[in-house]
Amino acid sequence: MKSSVSIIKCASYEQRLVETSVRRAVDSLGGIAVFIRPGSRVLVKPNLLMAKEPEFGIDTHPEVIRAVIRILKEIKCNILVGDGPSVWGKQIENVDEVYRRSGAKRICDEENVEMVKFDKRKWHGQFPLTSYLNECDHLINIPKFKTHELTLLTGAIKNLFGLVCGTYKTELHKNHFEINDFSRVLVDIYEKSKPALTVVDGIVAMEGDGPATSGKLRNLNLLLAGSDCVAIDTLMSKIIGVEPMDVITIKEAVSRKLGNANMEEIEVLGERFEDCLGRPFLLPSTSFARKKIPLPIVNIIRRLVKYYPFVYEKNCIRCQACMDACPKNVISMRPYGMHFDYKKCIACFCCQEACPASAIKVKKSLVAKLIGL
Ligand code: SF4
Ligand code: SF4
């Protein structure tokens, strides 16, 4: 069966424009009632990665969250909004700060909608997901359109990692640090959570070393919506200029028959897809796709080539967020600056994702330099 994805152009985060555009995206698919039962309880999950204001372009913009809330209100849903931000270890109390600075709390207060924290969990095999998944009838996923240092794309599937409760995210990074393995976990989470509807905030997107302060903002002016996260990620990968099968989560999801990555099986509604393609995105420094190397060769050289984080001391504010984020506890603060024990580093780049000051950069191993990666 074909998957439908709507794409709507939206030039700014002006409140009425965003609401109209999100509504057009959902209506192109047949309307909200196709996905959500009127009067049901709905968990809305934006991407609230870190405590940064909307202009940083890291978190889902609050006006996109508002638009989804308003559409749900029209069919009298009981709405909860929440995410498991990139706060680590003992910093769980910082969730309030993430909700406040991202603008999500203000929007929810104005719309009289409750924001919840993912502190109660239910185990699903090897990981615990927020118990709100079980307490709600539907999940709506609102990712931010970004590149990602580890998974290449922060799209519809990757955004669901935030459903994992608190410190277990760190455990999963530690135990499944190899990209194929980690992508399998992400697809497991997709299989368990299966959002009824996904709306992607790609009005201001991020390219380069995303998904946080080291990425570069890019005005993409697009919203995408649909129920097949594989099809949505496929269109997102085409937009950034990458073959969908180079995104391991897409490849894994297709192998499990969880969605369509074949363009002939994806019906694009709204804009003409060709009109949404601009110059390719800057890809993360760690990305093999950047060099257009075929996947079988990537799988061979991946074992030889290493990337490591290092601190650009001029930007570092000694906040220690990287230390709290590191699943292997290999970062320490020394009088001369931050120190990494590279023998134990698993190159997961959680430290870069957690750094609020764009201080963590990527360095290459000698082999990577020698073969020009
Ligand atoms: S130092 Fe950074 S990249 Fe290395 S294991 Fe720790 S968080 Fe991951
Ligand atoms: S590198 Fe970033 S996260 Fe680590 S201490 Fe410096 S500013 Fe904080």
Could you tell me the domains of the chain? 3-276 (3.40.50.11440), 304-370 (3.30.70.20)
194 CB under 6 A from ligand 1?
no
Q: What is the pLDDT of residues 265-319, one digit of tens each?
A: 999 999 999 999 999 999 998 876 555 566 666 666 666 667 889 999 999 999 9
Dmax (CA) of the chain = 60
Residue 215 binned pLDDT confidence (cut-offs 50, 70, 90) = very high
Q: What is the pLDDT of residue 287?
A: 76
Instruction: Give exposure, 271-308, as e/b (b: 16+ Cβ within 10 Å).
Output: bebeebeeeebbbbbbbbbbeebeeeebeeeeeebbbb
Q: What is the pLDDT of residue 103?
A: 98
Q: What is the pLDDT of residue 297?
A: 67
The CA 281 to ligand 1 mean position distance, Å, reads: 25
177 or 365: whose pLDDT is higher?
177
The CA 254 to ligand 1 mean position distance, Å, reads: 29
Measure the CA–CA gap between 63 and 13, rounded to whole angstroms. Answer: 7
Residue 177 binned pLDDT confidence (cut-offs 50, 70, 90) = confident
Alpha helix (H) residue ranges in 75-141: 95-101, 104-110, 132-135
80 CB under 6 A from ligand 2?
no
Measure the CA–CA gap between 6 and 328, rounded to whole angstroms. Answer: 41
Provide, rounded to the nearest whole percent, the portion of the chain with pLDDT above 70.
Answer: 91
Q: What is the pLDDT of residues 13-62, one digit of tens each?
A: 999 999 999 999 999 999 999 999 999 999 999 999 999 999 999 999 99
On the question of pLDDT at 91 being above 80, the answer is no
The CA 332 to ligand 2 mean position distance, Å, reads: 11
For residues 8 and 223, the answer to whether their CB atoms sit within 8 Å is yes
350 CB under 6 A from ligand 2?
no
**DSSP β-bridge partners for residue 83:** none
350 CB under 6 A from ligand 1?
yes
Contacts of 262 (CB under 8 A, 6+ apart): none
346 CB under 6 A from ligand 1?
yes
Phi–psi pair at 351, nearest 5 degrees: -65, -45
Residue nearest to atom 6 of ligand 2 (CA): 316
Residue 47: CB atoms within 10 Å: 27
Residue 366 binned pLDDT confidence (cut-offs 50, 70, 90) = low
The CA 333 to ligand 1 mean position distance, Å, reads: 14
328 CB under 6 A from ligand 1?
yes
Residue nearest to atom 2 of ligand 2 (CA): 355
Measure the CA–CA gap between 23 and 31, rounded to whole angstroms. Answer: 8
For residues 211 and 58, the answer to whether their CB atoms sit within 8 Å is yes
Q: Calculate the average pLDDT of the chain.
A: 91
Residue 163 binned pLDDT confidence (cut-offs 50, 70, 90) = very high
With the most atoms of ligand 2 within 8 angstroms of its CB, the residue from 312, 320, 326, 349 to mutate is 320
